[in-house]
Amino acid sequence: MALAGNPNAGKTTLFNSLTGARQHVGNYPGITVDYKEGAFTHISHGNNKREKQEIILTDLPGTYSLTAYSVEEVVARDYLVNEKPQVVINIVDASNLERNLYLTTQFLELGCPLVIALNMIDVAKDRGIGVKTEKLAELLGVPVLPIIARMGQGTEDLIDQAILQADQPWQPRDISYGEDLDEVIMEMVAIIADTHFLIHTYPARFTAIKYLEQDEQILSKGQEEDRDTAVRLEQKVLQVSEHLLKTLDAYPEAIIADHRYGFIKSILRQGVQSHSYDDDRLYTSDKIDKVLTNRLLGPVIMLLILFGLYQFTFSWSALPVAGLESFFGWLGGQADTHLPDGPLKSMIISGVIDGMGGVLGFVPLIAFMFFGIAALEDSGYLARVAFMMDRIFRIFGLHGSSVMPFIVSGGIAGGCAVPGVMATRTLRSPKERMATLLTVPFMNCGAKVPVIALLIGTFFSEHKALYMFGFTLLSWIVALLAAKLLRITVLKGAATPFVMELPPYRFPTLRGLAIHTWERTWQYIKKAGTVILGISILLWAMMTYPGLSLEQRASFEQQRQTLRAGFSQEVIAESTMKNEASSSEATTLRHKLTSIDQQESEQALRNSLAGRIGITLEPISRFAGFDWRTNIALVGGVAAKEVIISTLGTAYSIGKIETESVDSLSERLIRSPHWNKVVAVSVLVFISFYAPCFVTVVCIAKEAGHWGWALFSVSFNTLFAFFLATAIYQIGNWLG
Ligand code: GDP
Ligand code: MG
């Protein structure tokens, strides 16, 4: 057995009390740089049998961490990984828990068999600090035994427990270090696992973290072991360090330390530690948290902050969004007047400008949303949101670690389910993980936000922020209910305890916010310019071809001829002039001609490949209030949700005639007989909850390790969404 802990935690005192050897007990740091061994006989009381055992105990030098910053740390760590003691007794000073548990987090990451001796409970008591050992043990996943080393109290039970833990397989535990670092760590772990880099000595994740902490010893060991891999890892560290310096103005070491303390704080605040000392000694972060994560006040403030975020996003982005909308309108008009008629013109106007314009037009909205979320994230508030949501999540059979995947997927708005699905890796229980994996696509990802914003802006323009807020709440409620449903049916199983990291509050830097906002916005723009453009053109083609047969076209031309025959030459000439005050006769002719043109293009759209698909689905989709044009957009949305807007734009622009003024998709929808507020809500609900986009489905299959779950996700979500949409449409109509 090895004794490890902070200096002055009481290792030597315990060592002496157990072994009876004369050791020097002192306060000078560095006094036990060489480890000392001693032996004693222990009579264990397990299983009602008295068993005698010979135990060899090693007193390790006191350290504050397992990163090789000092000789003591190198000695202690080398002993652990090279000698591999059968069990480690981590002595923790109960009167100084927060600082002492910092080392404990690294034993957890190393994964050695561990028992915690909670020492100096007499001192803690004197200072008015109470510690709930069972709760602490549950949250750390390690046995915790209270002792008073100086009086030899509790040491028998401690050794009994240590014997039980001895020789357990090493089991490294993951602690999350925030989005940026977790991603790099995952990449580094993959490299390490591939090349078996230092794997005989350290767990892969441990090595990755020590690389990020710039641990001299491991860096040089790495160079000796395998130069290529070492260089690859160092490069990863360099990249992420630069990124963190730019965005958070901090080195990885600092972020890692912050998260470890956050991890500890969240354990302590879950009823582990109770104080009776006065408030003056609380840190600023803790003071802020007293209000912001208060049981009653916290959630209210959280809802207000989120509502404020939507208000900010919608009001500040309204002007630039309108500006871009009219710009694309103008661009369409220019293309209309300057390009020769034909399929190329149709593709550029309907496929490219309307399609891309619909997606790009929302760039300001997305950027403002990302800015707000970056501010919440960089300040540390987002972690508090997760902390508060955890209480709710348990009720629905999800784990506290599910909250982050939900937020990453767009829980507040504007995320993406792909990283969300990958973020579920932090969940240990396979059932909780599956339930999370299957419900994160319900969140309002960055691709759904513009669609939601468009429909809300069109049909509920008076209360945009309120409706956005409502839809966000709805998506959470539905996701949680669906999770509960899964957890009481196909994914039945017990809940596991949860520890959540709470980093201290920081003032976000403007530079960091700008970089975070730009990175995500640029990704959105890039996607619009590549994938979405491609799908948009493909869908345009599906909506244009095969088009009308020669006879059909001739028949429409015939109708126009017959109509014109009834008017004089002057009236016909006058009717072709746009935007001029014309006689009533010319206006009538123009309207009648327009109506024929409309019938022709509608006929063409119906006859197109996409049109036929939409029409085939209409007998079913009618129950939820979707017309065949909307169906085309919804089917297209399975490729990528952004496409819904661009396809609606194209579907409703192909059926429209250019003699009318160039107008926006909103105006077209408002005028369409197929759309009203009830349909808008029904479509919104369907879009929120139906099949995840293609990339997410692939990701789910990969993460779940089975295509069955991906298919389940597609069919379950679509049926579920359709059921909800139908209910809303039917009830809405019934209520009038
Ligand atoms: P080490 O640095 O971890 O080896 O710590 P030591 O064993 O040298 O202990 C540091 C000081 O704490 C000594 O003065 C011990 O007498 C004292 N000490 C150790 N255990 C206890 C305890 O349970 N209660 C109290 N009150 N003092 C203790
Ligand atoms: Mg000592």
For the chain, which residues make up each domain, given as ranges?
2-165, 179-275
CATH top class, domain 2-165: alpha beta
Q: Which residues pair with 145 in a beta bridge?
A: 117
Q: Which residue has the higher pLDDT, 280 or 705?
A: 705
Q: Which of 147-161, 514-528, 656-670 has the lowest mean pLDDT?
A: 656-670
Among residues 127, 123, 58, the alpha carbon closest in space to that of 88 is found at: 58
pLDDT at 657: 46
Structure tokens at 429: 């229980």
Q: Could you tell me if the CB of 183 is within 6 A of ligand 1?
A: no
Q: Which of 136-145, 258-267, 575-584 has the lowest mean pLDDT?
A: 575-584
pLDDT at 415: 74
- Give the C-alpha separation, 644 to 629, whole Å: 11
pLDDT band for position 133 (cuts 50, 70, 90): very high
Q: Which residues pair with 148 in a beta bridge?
A: 153
pLDDT at 228: 94
Whether 326 has a pLDDT exceeding 90, the answer reads no
What mean pLDDT comes out for the span 716-733? 94
pLDDT at 360: 82
Q: Which of 13-27, 303-317, 441-455, 623-637 has the lowest mean pLDDT?
A: 13-27
Whether 392 has a pLDDT exceeding 80, the answer reads yes
Q: Which of 5-9, 56-60, 327-331, 660-664 has the lowest mean pLDDT?
A: 660-664
Q: What percent of the chain has pLDDT over 90?
A: 32
Q: Could you tell me if the CB of 120 is within 6 A of ligand 1?
A: yes
What mean pLDDT comes out for the span 243-253? 88
Pairing of strands 2-5, 51-59: parallel
- Give the C-alpha separation, 193 to 188, whole Å: 8
What mean pLDDT comes out for the span 232-259? 91
Q: Could you tell me if the CB of 61 is within 6 A of ligand 1?
A: no
What mean pLDDT comes out for the span 217-226? 93
Whether 90 has a pLDDT exceeding 70, the answer reads yes
pLDDT at 732: 92
Give 35 Cα–ligand 2 centroid separation in angstroms.
9
pLDDT at 51: 79
pLDDT at 582: 66
Could you give the 3-state DSSP secondary structure of residue 275? Answer: strand
What mean pLDDT comes out for the span 526-539? 80
Tell which atom from ligand 1 comes closest to the C-alpha of 119: 23
Give 101 Cα–ligand 1 centroid separation in angstroms.
17
pLDDT at 507: 80
Give 468 Cα–ligand 1 centroid separation in angstroms.
58
Query: Among the residues of 33-94, which ranges form H helices?
Result: 71-78
Substitution site in 3, 8, 18 for ligand 1 pocket (most atoms within 8 Å of beta carbon): 8
* Ligand showing the shortest atom-to-Cα distance for residue 4: 1
What mean pLDDT comes out for the span 619-630? 92
Give 55 Cα–ligand 2 centroid separation in angstroms.
19
pLDDT at 31: 41
Tell which atom from ligand 1 comes closest to the C-alpha of 15: 7
Whether 25 has a pLDDT exceeding 60, the answer reads no
Tell which atom from ligand 1 comes closest to the C-alpha of 153: 23
Q: Which residues pair with 2 in a beta bridge?
A: 58, 88
Whether 26 has a pLDDT exceeding 50, the answer reads no
Cis check: omega of the bond before 546, within 30 degrees of 0? yes
Closest Cα to atom 22 of ligand 1: 120
Q: Could you tell me if the CB of 132 is within 6 A of ligand 1?
A: no
Whether 726 has a pLDDT exceeding 50, the answer reads yes
Fold exhibited by the domain 179-275 = Helix Hairpins (1.10.287)
Exposure string (b/e) for 350-373, b if CB count within 10 Å is 16 or more? bbbbbbbbbbbbbbbbbbbbbbbb
Whether 29 has a pLDDT exceeding 60, the answer reads no
pLDDT at 1: 94
Give 14 Cα–ligand 1 centroid separation in angstroms.
8
Whether 687 has a pLDDT exceeding 60, the answer reads yes
pLDDT at 705: 84
Substitution site in 6, 12, 13, 33 for ligand 1 pocket (most atoms within 8 Å of beta carbon): 13
Mean pLDDT of the chain: 85
Whether 24 has a pLDDT exceeding 60, the answer reads no
pLDDT at 561: 86
Whether 643 has a pLDDT exceeding 50, the answer reads yes
The backbone torsions φ and ψ at residue 131, rounded to the nearest 5 degrees and listed phi first, read -125, 130
- Most confident option among 294-303, 307-316, 374-383, 499-508: 294-303
Give 218 Cα–ligand 2 centroid separation in angstroms.
26
What mean pLDDT comes out for the span 156-168? 93
Tell which atom from ligand 1 comes closest to the C-alpha of 6: 3
- Give the C-alpha separation, 457 to 464, whole Å: 6
pLDDT at 160: 93
pLDDT in tens, 338-360: 888 888 888 888 778 877 777 78
Give 113 Cα–ligand 2 centroid separation in angstroms.
22
pLDDT in tens, 593-608: 878 887 887 888 888 8
Q: Could you tell me if the CB of 62 is within 6 A of ligand 1?
A: yes
pLDDT at 159: 94
Q: Which of 429-433, 554-558, 649-653 has the lowest mean pLDDT?
A: 649-653
Q: Is 546 exposed, middle or buried (0-12, 13-18, 19+ CB in 10 A)?
A: exposed
Q: Which residue matches tokens 């100084």? A: 96
Q: Could you tell me if the CB of 11 is within 6 A of ligand 1?
A: yes
Q: Could you tell me if the CB of 117 is within 6 A of ligand 1?
A: no
pLDDT at 547: 79
Tell which atom from ligand 1 comes closest to the C-alpha of 26: 8
Q: Is 48 exposed, middle or buried (0-12, 13-18, 19+ CB in 10 A)?
A: exposed
Whether 577 has a pLDDT exceeding 80, the answer reads no
pLDDT band for position 33 (cuts 50, 70, 90): low
What mean pLDDT comes out for the span 401-411? 83
pLDDT band for position 47 (cuts 50, 70, 90): low
Residue pair 267/140 in contact by the 8 Å Cβ criterion: yes
Q: Could you tell me if the CB of 150 is within 6 A of ligand 1?
A: yes
pLDDT at 280: 44
Residue pair 434/709 in contact by the 8 Å Cβ criterion: yes
Whether 499 has a pLDDT exceeding 80, the answer reads no
Tell which atom from ligand 1 comes closest to the C-alpha of 7: 2
pLDDT band for position 581 (cuts 50, 70, 90): low
What mean pLDDT comes out for the span 367-383? 84
Q: Which residue has the higher pLDDT, 695 or 459?
A: 459
Substitution site in 35, 150, 151, 155 for ligand 1 pocket (most atoms within 8 Å of beta carbon): 150
- Give the C-alpha separation, 628 to 618, whole Å: 5
Q: Could you tell me if the CB of 122 is within 6 A of ligand 1?
A: yes
Q: Could you tell me if the CB of 174 is within 6 A of ligand 1?
A: no
Q: Which of 120-129, 344-353, 556-565, 644-653 has the lowest mean pLDDT?
A: 644-653
Element (DSSP H or E) covering residue 140: helix 133-140
What mean pLDDT comes out for the span 172-193? 91
Give 5 Cα–ligand 2 centroid separation in angstroms.
9
Whether 500 has a pLDDT exceeding 50, the answer reads yes
pLDDT band for position 275 (cuts 50, 70, 90): confident
Among residues 278, 248, 365, 351, the alpha carbon closest in space to that of 314 is found at: 365
- Give the C-alpha separation, 710 to 691, whole Å: 10
Q: Could you tell me if the CB of 13 is within 6 A of ligand 1?
A: yes
Structure tokens at 146: 């209270």
Whether 410 has a pLDDT exceeding 70, the answer reads yes
Structure tokens at 515: 């970089």
pLDDT at 366: 79
Give 69 Cα–ligand 2 centroid separation in angstroms.
19
pLDDT band for position 278 (cuts 50, 70, 90): very low
Could you give the 3-state DSSP secondary structure of residue 131? Answer: strand
pLDDT band for position 281 (cuts 50, 70, 90): very low
